[in-house]
Homo-oligomer: A and B are copies of this chain.
């Protein structure tokens, strides 16, 4: 039975890899599982057929036989649990990898989402220029803590895991902002993630959907 995921018919980022299907594609590439993609338009995402699969009207979703899942973190977890390559064998190390998945999504990403909202949803508001330093400070607070923990290690806890996949994916949202420039070890961590062959395949696949072209470099 083929795994099928959903992705934007046309991603708001034009193929820069920031849509969350990239995270799921990356996980599937890391564990070597083939998958099919069903593209969904913005209007179809709000229709009953898609809402039955994803109550919040978003992508990605994951279907495999009679199992339907939504929520990127849960899908990546499911892939990591079922296929070798994203969780360590040792039980305690596995629990710590799961901890980093949750940390990426519920501690590091929320201030980054708030920064995105300030830019995309409030960019034209009178208060945004004055408010932006506060929003950036909240992101820097988390980045500083993460940078201190990572130190000069390659990955967050030993070998690359689903925790790193999720943390790198979250940090990628900041790549264009310049906020990571103050943290050379986080920039290098991001570059290590992007250099993984599985990430490159995932990026290229979503790029092809959004541009109809192979990657330009």
Contact = CB atoms under 8 A, between A and B. Distances in A.
B126 A98 contact: no
Interface string A80-107: 0000000000001001101101110111
A72 B110 CA distance: 15
Which has the most chain B C-beta neighbours within 10 Å: A67, A98, A138? A98
A3 to B, nearest CB: 13
A74 B87 CA distance: 14
A152 interface: no
Contacts of A77: 98, 102
| Copies held by the complex | 2
A73 B100 CA distance: 10
Given A102-B105, A146-B55, A96 B114 contact: no
Given A55-B148, A127-B131, A131-B125, A107 B71 contact: yes
A145 B57 contact: yes
A115 B131 CA distance: 15
Interface residues of A, number: 46
A29 to B, nearest CB: 21
A132 to B, nearest CB: 11
Contact of A107 (B56, B95, B125): B56
A70 interface: yes
A172 to B, nearest CB: 16
B145 A71 contact: no
Nearest to A108: B56
Given A71-B103, A71-B107, A72-B106, 12 more contacts: A55-B149, A71-B99, A74-B101, A78-B98, A102-B105, A106-B109, A117-B138, A121-B134, A125-B127, A127-B127, A127-B130, A131-B131
Interface of A: 51, 55-58, 66-67, 69-75, 77-78, 92, 95-96, 98-99, 101-103, 105-107, 109-110, 113-114, 117, 121-122, 125-127, 130-131, 134, 138, 142, 145-146, 148-149
7 contacts: A55-B146, A55-B149, A71-B107, A73-B105, A74-B98, A77-B102, A127-B130
